[in-house]
Structures are given as C-alpha cells and as structure tokens.
Amino acid sequence: MKTTISVIKADIGSVSGHCFSHPALMEKCDEVLEKALDESIINDYYISRCGDDVDLIMTHTKGELNEEVHKVAYDAFLQASEIAREMKLYGAGQDLLNDTFSGNIKGMGPGIAEMEFEERPSDPVIVYCCDKTEPGAFNLPLFKMFADPFNTAGLVIDPKLHDGFKFEVYDVIENKKVVLSCPEEMYDLLALIGSTGRYIIKRIFNKKGEIAASVTTESLTLKNGKYVGKDDPAVIVRAQSGFPAAGECVEPFAFPHMVTGWMRGSHNGPLMPVSEEYANPVRFDGPPRVIGLAFQIADAQLVGPLDIFDDPAFDETRKMSSKAATYIRRHGPFEPHRLPVEEMEYTSLPGVMKKLEPRFEDIDD
C-alpha cells in the first residue's frame, strides 16, 4: 500500500490585514479533519499556518487528486471562511473561487502539493510553507537542494545521488510543461527557472522515477485576471536515503534570496525563514516568510513535526533578511523594489494605467 501526503493551503481570512490567520479558523479546520480521521478518509494530519494562510498537511492511502480527501480540505476551508465572515476578518474566503465542490480542489483557488510513494524503512519529509510570495520562490532553494553540489555534497560523494535528478517545470503563462535532467541539462534548466514568475518547478524525481519534491503551482492571480493575493506556495521534500540529507534540504534557506510578492504582491523582498510562532509578516506586509516542518512518515502516520527554523543558527539569516528588507524598502515605488510593469499586469496597476491612457500623446521628434 502506497502512502500519499497532501498539503492543501488557502488564505481564508486574517486579523488586521494580511498577516495572521485567527486560531478560530484553524480550530474549525481541526474539527473537520478530525471527523475525516474518524471516518478513515485520512490517516493523520497536522494543521499549521504561515501568515494569513492555513496549511492542511494530511496523510492517507487514497492517491493523488482523491475526491474524498480534497472535499475534506474544501469543506474545512468553506466552514472556516464562514467563521471568518462572522468575525469580519480581512479577506474572508479569499482563496475560494466558488462554494460548489467539483470533484477535486484543483483550479478552485487553494494550492495543492501531493506525492504518493512506497514508504522506505525510514522516510523523512519536510514541508515548507510560505506567505507573501509566489510558487517560483522555491525555484532557487529546490535547485540548490537537488542540483547544486556546493549545497548538496551528496551529489558528489553519495553514489545514490550521483546520477542527479529530473525537474518537471511548468510554464504557468502558456500552460505547458517540460522535464529537464540534471546535471546534463543544468544550464537549460537555469535558463528557465531563473524567470520565477513564469517557469516554476512543479515536481522533482530521481533517475529511477521516485518522487522527491512537489510544489503548489496554482496561480490564483492569473485565474482571476486581477490582483487578489499572491499564491503563497508550499512544497513537500523527501530527505535522506537516496535523496538529499535533511541538512542539505534546509541549507538553501540560510540565504534569504529575493522573491516576488510582499506588499500587494507587487514588490521584491528577501525570504525570511522563521518558526511557526514568528510567521507574522507585518512589516510592509512582510518581508516574505517561510516555515519548515520536518516529519517522519510511518505507516501513513505523521511523526513530528520539528519546527526547523526555530533554531539560533538562522538568527544571522534573519538579520541579513532584515537588512536587505530595509535596503530595498528605501527604493519606495521604484524598481527593483516594485516589480517591472510587465510583471504587474495582474495587480491593481492596470486600473491606474487605464485612467491615464486618454492623456498619453504621441512624441514629436
């Protein structure tokens, strides 16, 4: 029997803007998932949050895109959204595009990352959850984990990793995908995933075809055709015994790289690794945050988690992130802090441009 991990997340309401999901929403989700556990729809679960996003981490044996499992998540978000509306929380039900479930949650607003696999004798898994950024924020960390020997020593010295990995990359603008193999196609991969707003790593496999990582890539902003919030991604990563060591999966976040999102989804800023307790992006709605939860998978049960960024070893990273945030904030509405105009097509900027359009005149040389 194979085990499936499903991470389904949504922004369904926040206290005072976009920074904190109220505990009452998580309690309602817990109530719904506990019932699903009693009914043997899922085997285990853990509920977390990063900023204003609630993250449902579930294990089961029903495979990916399972209707029962997805309905549990959608019902949890729907019922929690009602509480958010009663409390007049900001953005109540924001990530639910409609209130009618249609078989699975894909395309309905919430983000989904899933993977199905045969459990190893010991199966460590890390779930990373972000707020105030987009799925492309994981491109750099995942590349470093699975393709960069300066980060992952196992690519050089561990025979189980030495053959490299395959990267499934989505073009979220053209709705296409391509699979590239590393190390042999590394430069081709980098040519794509450096454009983090368009080319996004969706899945990673080893050369035997075993799943190594899975990312939420649902693009809520593109579906709605206007800015309603960034996609706030999550990723599941398998570690050890044929995959990068847990420490190699954590190390990329020691560098707070620049990601897109932050205030109004229209700014670049450093990704700050924090514990669950400090996942409250309040400075200019940021800077963007990432939490990491490490589990062991045992007979479709979750053992843990370890809150991996609750560690003084990341204090310097957080200081670096704060300094970088201060530096780039000083640019105000200028690039490179604010996104270039072509990347703001799905924000509120087009409304401003439409108002000014009649006033533009041809330039006479």
Instruction: For residue 227, indicate whether it is catalytic.
Output: yes
d(CA 209, CA 116): 12
283: helix, coil or strand? strand
Tokens of 117: 């696999």
d(CA 106, CA 94): 16
Radius of gyration of the chain (CA): 20
Partners of residue 130 on adjacent β-strands: 290
Closest CA to 4 of 231, 214, 271, 319: 214
- Indicate which residue of 11, 53, 231, 285 is catalytic: 11
* 48 within 8 A of 276, measured Cβ to Cβ: yes
At residue 71, φ and ψ (nearest 5 deg) are: -70, -35
d(CA 263, CA 349): 13
- Indicate which residue of 227, 231, 232, 285 is catalytic: 227
Instruction: For residue 199, indicate whether it is catalytic.
Output: no
Give strand ranges (E) for the chain: 3-11, 44-50, 53-60, 111-117, 123-131, 165-171, 176-182, 199-206, 211-215, 234-238, 258-261, 267-270, 272-273, 289-298, 301-307
Instruction: For residue 46, indicate whether it is catalytic.
Output: no
Tell me the CA distances in angstroms from 1 to 4, 19, 43, 204, 236, one per residue in order: 10, 40, 13, 22, 20
* 115 within 8 A of 205, measured Cβ to Cβ: no
d(CA 86, CA 92): 9
- Indicate which residue of 52, 170, 230, 346 is catalytic: 230
266: helix, coil or strand? coil
Closest CA to 307 of 142, 52, 126: 126
CA end-to-end distance (rounded Å), the chain:
73
Catalytic positions: 11, 227, 230
